[in-house]
Structures are given as structure tokens and as C-alpha cells.
Copies of this chain bind each other. A is one copy, B any other.
Amino acid sequence: MGNNLYHADCPAIETLALIGGRWKVIILHVLSKHARRFGEINVRIPSISRKVLTEQLRELEADGLINRKQYKEHPQKVEYALTDFGKSLCPLLAYISAWKKNVEGNSSQDIIQLPD
């Protein structure tokens, strides 16, 4: 959400400041199962360019949601993983996925059940 923070004390807005970026939920979703290398993430999200993927990863790293580990090898190898803070988002990520499934199968007023 970037620049102006209307009600910076609103929890929803604070959360969105971290995960509201165009690709961040998807990236976090990819990383929620395994730590992944740069190329692995890119394969799973083919529509994102390397440039933009790099930018998003840098922001997620700066916000403490993911961790970047660089191995001194040739060819180079870099691995991204959720931090503990990032892992605390997993239920929310699962919820986002679960919502669509639930709505498809049930009446839309139904309470959505969080997957375990």
C-alpha cells in the first residue's frame, strides 16, 4: 500500500502493507511448502519477470517475512524461505485458498472452515 497511510493504526492496513503487493501472497504461498530457489519460484510463477520477482523478494525480505540464503557455489545458488514471522502468515494464506473452494461448493453465507 506504499505511500499514504490514512489510518496506519488499522490492523487490516498494516497487514496489507506487508502482503498487499501484487505478487506477495503468491510468492509466500509458493514458499509456504518448501524453501525455494530463485529459479524454482520463477517456474511456479511464470508470468512474473525476474526483475519484478527480485523486487518483491527484496521487499518481503526487508519486512522480515522471508530469508535469503546465498550458497557460495558455482553456479550460484540462492534459497528463499519463510522466517518464523512469515510462517505466522501460513494460516492466512491457507484461508485465502480455502475461501474460493468453500464458496464454490456451498451456499455463500456458510461460515468458511479453516483447513488444518
- Interfacial residues, chain A to chain B (CB-CB below 8 A): 1, 4-6, 10-16, 20, 22, 25-26, 29, 45-47, 83-85, 87-89, 91-93, 95-103, 108-112, 114
Bound-complex Cα distance A16 to B97 (A): 9
Main secondary structure, interface of A, reads helix
Q: Determine the chain B residues whose CB is within 8 A of the CB of A89 once the complex forms.
A: 99
Of the listed residues A93, A108, A109, the one surrounded by the most CB atoms of chain B closer than 10 A to its CB is A108
Query: Is A84 a contact of B112 with CB atoms below 8 Å?
Result: no
- 24 interchain pairs (CB within 8 A)? A4-B47, A6-B46, A11-B96, A11-B97, A11-B99, A11-B100, A11-B101, A12-B96, A12-B100, A13-B26, A14-B100, A15-B97, A15-B100, A20-B25, A87-B108, A88-B99, A88-B109, A89-B99, A91-B95, A91-B111, A91-B112, A92-B95, A92-B96, A92-B99
